[in-house]
Amino acid sequence: MSPSDPIISLRGVSKRFSTRRGEVHALDGIDLDVARGELVSLIGPSGCGKSTLLRLVGGLLDPDAGTVTVEGAPPRAARATKHFGFVPQTPALLPWRTVRRNVALLSEVNRTAGGKVALTTEVTHALLDEVGLGEFLDAYPHELSGGMQQRVSLVRAFALGAPILLMDEPFAALDEITRAEMRYLLLRLWEGTGATTLFVTHSIAEAVLLSDRVVVLAARPGRIQVVEDVTLPRPRHEAQEDGPEFVEQVRRIRHALLQGRSA
């Protein structure tokens, strides 16, 4: 069900791109509401417009048709007032800055984010300690593993204090064991802040574990195939992944993906 008072709202959103090979119809007729504090995952076949949808919400692209609003205003206005924290596929850390200085970067540039004050240095360092980086505050990115770099990227996004997080497959480059650890780390950080989160992933299990709802997109042009409410109780834990409710929700989303691939 759509939330009655959404923080993010898309109505009839379509997007096309012109390429050397011709026009690409990326998204078509997207209607979606996201409630304040909700974690919603976007999943679908490669090329179905998941990342495009994320960029439309973040004000990095404009729709060709339909409307996108954030807190009732255009996304570019929300971006100007620092409402968004972005977490990309790669950590994008500055190689000449240490862990502590990479995390502080966004807060140095943006003193406030959407009316929320960025986390203090003490709180940020406590978060880094919580994610296992307390002994690496003065390390440089090249001295860290891929998983450690992505932890820095996560803490940096949360440290900004932005009310909305847009996450584009942030764990895609990690091995499965590290990726599983990062899912629970993300949940701990998210539960501590209540940030509204849109999370793009190709992993069905990841989407179910993290989300309040999973939005399944059909093959290009991207359309919403189904929105699955995740009924697993919070806080989420590893034992749930072996339970019948988790397995059944994974099965339903897999079925919807298969239908969307041939739609």
Walking along the chain (263 residues) 10 residues at a time, the average pLDDT comes out as: 81 91 90 96 94 95 96 91 87 92 75 53 82 91 92 86 92 86 90 92 96 95 95 94 96 91 67
pTM: 0.90
Confidence at residue 95, expressed as pLDDT on a 0 to 100 scale: 94
Q: What is the pLDDT of residue 32?
A: 97
Please name the amino acid found at residue 75.
P
- Give DSSP secondary structure letters for the chain: ---SSEEEEEEEEEEEEEETTEEEEEEEEEEEEEETT-EEEEE-STTSSHHHHHHHHTTSS--SEEEEEETTB-HHHHHHTT-EEEE-SS----TTS-HHHHHHHHHHH-SEETTEEPPPHHHHHHHHHHTT-GGGTT--GGGS-HHHHHHHHHHHHHHTT-SEEEEESTTTTS-HHHHHHHHHHHHHHHHHH--EEEEE-S-HHHHHHH-SEEEEEPSSSB-EEEEEEP---SS--GGGGGSHHHHHHHHHHHHHHHHHHH-
Question: 């500055």: which residue's tokens?
Answer: 94
Residue 126 makes CB contacts below 8 A (sequence gap 6+) with none
Cis geometry, peptide bond prior to residue 95 (ω within 30 degrees of 0): no
